[in-house]
Amino acid sequence: MAVQSSAITRWEGDLAHGAGQSTPDSGAFPAVEVSWASRTARAADKTSPEELLAAAHSSCFCMALSHELAEAGTPPERLEATASVEFDPDEGVRHSHIAVRGRVPGIDQDAFSEAARAAGEGCPISGALKGNIDIAVEATLES
């Protein structure tokens, strides 16, 4: 069964001087302010589409990696993934780099790296981005 997720953004003004507010339909988090300045330089208390994409990518990746590890009989105690999405005003979104650290009993670094690679391939957000931007995964197993 398919699930649809929605958000609404209201924008006022032109690109360079305007601003908007994005609100998730679920109410899971409050509306966030967006602006061109938040895309091209950090603007206090405002986000960007790329930062929202990074949040989506890191959370999706953690879910996929948790599943990969559990399916292999080694469920994680903890995973922490940081997705860094790069935006260039002239070229658009260029890549998403995921750095993941995990505490997973009964697994070695090679197996963790392989599970992370597979999660990077199997995560639905990665699938949506694949072929459009470069995706890299860096995995570190904590002892």
Place of tokens 């995921």: 98
User: What average pLDDT does the chain have?
Assistant: 95
Residue ranges in the chain modelled with pLDDT below 50: none
The range of the structural domain enclosing residue 77 comes to 49-141
Asked if 55 and 91 sit in the same domain, the reply is yes
Res 48: pLDDT: 92
Res 135: pLDDT: 96
Is residue 137 a part of any domain in this protein? yes
Asked if 24 and 73 sit in the same domain, the reply is no
Asked if 135 and 99 sit in the same domain, the reply is yes
Is residue 2 a part of any domain in this protein? no
Res 99: pLDDT: 98
Residues 42-75 have pLDDT tens digits of 777 889 999 999 999 999 999 999 999 999 999 9
Asked if 33 and 97 sit in the same domain, the reply is no
Asked if 91 and 136 sit in the same domain, the reply is yes
Q: How far apart are CA 105 and CA 96, in angstroms?
A: 28
Could you give the number of structural domains in the chain? 2
Res 45: pLDDT: 83
Q: How far apart are CA 45 and CA 101, in angstroms?
A: 27
Asked if 36 and 106 sit in the same domain, the reply is no
Asked if 57 and 35 sit in the same domain, the reply is no
